[in-house]
Homo-oligomer: A and B are copies of this chain.
């Protein structure tokens, strides 16, 4: 039997324009092309060499002319449109002047350390595509440097817009160096972890000097944003006493312990201005940490959480006085009906600085599936205006994610982010859905697979019941089989309607009497039968 072969989709990485905006270009089996936003970066480089330094020519002139504040916000407020702004504008399909205005107003940030020259800049703000962060990093228990670089590459392959290196063990500096030199996306860290290593793991011995030394070291390497837990104030700690889950942020609990031991105010808060000096010198963005975020449904939206949020708003104002870019970290564990209040309050008290949330998880009852409990919350909080979503993997609460977990977490969050883009009406977002659904309705299986977030898995699932090449062009799938395929029947119906022309009216709605409708229907039936209405004969699946 003659089985039709499956036409192929062409997938290639392209760079558009002078600035080389990266996209994946798909050429579909029907000849149409489609561009996918691409975060994977230049391919095929030896990790020991790192990626090409595409920002070298952008940053060097700023150094040469003696700039002292390198922040994108600083340039934006001076009315300058940087190459980074042009890049993200072209990447998002927006005007560069709009990007500049959003950055100047603090409603969006472009994390881009002047020393992270390998970066392909991205913008984080509610007017733009919702972004996804992936966490990597070794812990005291396991993993190696090679593992971490591989996790970085794996994360961006699956669409991570930024990556946080949360390493806490040995070789923390060297691990970070490898990650930065191989990262096309902004890298964030929590400098407190390394500062704690420097004082031998003794929380009480932490101090502002070792912290400043640490952030300068990391800024020099090119880290693009720092989580800083400057909002965990001594007087707020007792508010967590009656919680079900206390303080669940690592940085938050470290600072709380320090504050309690010394009975002094948080040194990050007290010396915030000294931190700011480093931030603007390198253009490191703040990710103001929510050290008192809720870690259980019971603790959501409580006094501790919202007290800290107001402090973060105060710190935002102080950072903006120095043109330092800021985003605000958010929860955590929040039931659905309490999500909107989080965004509304954050936008109000933090003056519309971008919100960056961890999920939130919408229930606590599913350990092993928190990528799903939290993708629900992430999609909703994204719809309400959250700019970036920190992914959660299936291993959350249980252990360190492996490659499979990273991929599962990334895909769940790209779903959440895109669902939010659709709900916000982001320009062009729905075109992607429409391309895929059209391919689906027209039985262009290969197009459907390749337009999806994970072509390999889609193809594998399809082939699990219909592995034959012919099935890739068949006008049915194994869900319904050939006789019951709704798409095919629906296409038949459409063809019938086309044969009849426009005469199938919406009876009853246009004032026709029942008899008139009946007479019209009989006439139509005769015309349809005369036109030939054969039953669908499926392509042989063998």
Contact = CB atoms under 8 A, between A and B. Distances in A.
A369 B411 CA distance: 8
B415 A372 contact: yes
Q: Which of A264, A395, A398, A437 has the most CB of B within 10 A?
A: A398
Interface in A479-504: 479-487, 489-494, 496-497, 504
Contact of A412 (B372, B379, B397): B372
Interface stretch (A97-105, A181-189, A271-279, A454-462): A454-462
A1 interface: no
Contacts of A22: none
Interface in A100-140: 139-140
Nearest to A520: B263
A496 B261 contact: yes
Contacts of A168: 480-481, 483-484
B335 A490 contact: no
Contacts of A492: 257
Interface stretch (A43-51, A145-153, A196-204, A344-352): A196-204
A201 B261 CA distance: 78
A530 interface: no
A330 interface: no
Taking chain A's interface residues, is the majority helix, strand, or loop, or is none over half, making it mixed?
A: helix
Interface stretch (A84-92, A320-328, A521-529): A521-529
Interface residues of A, number: 142
A430 interface: yes
B451 A411 contact: no
A425 B372 CA distance: 21
Interface string A345-363: 0000000000000000011
Contacts of A434: 244, 296-298, 364
Interface stretch (A75-83, A216-224, A245-253): A245-253
A373 B419 contact: yes
Given A379-B336, A399-B465, A440-B397, A486 B249 contact: yes
A468 B125 CA distance: 45
B490 A246 contact: yes
A440 B491 CA distance: 53
Contacts of A525: 261-264
Given A367-B448, A479-B400, A489 B423 contact: no
A453 B415 contact: no
A383 interface: yes
Nearest to A396: B479
Nearest to A241: B497
A72 B476 CA distance: 40
Interface in A211-265: 234-241, 244-250, 252-254, 256-257, 260-265
A63 interface: no
A322 to B, nearest CB: 24
A385 interface: no
Contacts of A520: 263
A240 B436 CA distance: 18
A422 interface: yes
Given A257-B493, A493-B253, A441 B244 contact: yes
A164 B141 CA distance: 46
Contacts of A507: 234-235
Contacts of A395: 461, 464, 479
Nearest to A335: B422
24 contacts: A141-B465, A141-B541, A196-B483, A234-B504, A235-B504, A240-B490, A250-B480, A261-B529, A263-B521, A264-B525, A296-B434, A296-B441, A336-B422, A337-B422, A337-B424, A362-B419, A365-B451, A366-B452, A367-B436, A375-B375, A376-B379, A380-B380, A397-B477, A399-B461
Interface of A: 139-142, 168-169, 193, 196, 201-204, 234-241, 244-250, 252-254, 256-257, 260-265, 295-298, 333, 335-337, 362-369, 371-373, 375-376, 379-380, 383, 394-400, 402, 411-412, 414-416, 418-420, 422-425, 430, 432-434, 436-438, 440-441, 448-449, 451-454, 457-458, 460-462, 464-466, 477-487, 489-494, 496-497, 504-509, 517, 520-525, 528-529, 533, 535, 541
Given A254-B489, A256-B489, A263-B525, 16 more contacts: A234-B507, A245-B487, A250-B485, A253-B486, A261-B496, A263-B528, A298-B433, A337-B423, A337-B424, A337-B425, A362-B423, A364-B437, A364-B440, A375-B375, A376-B419, A397-B440
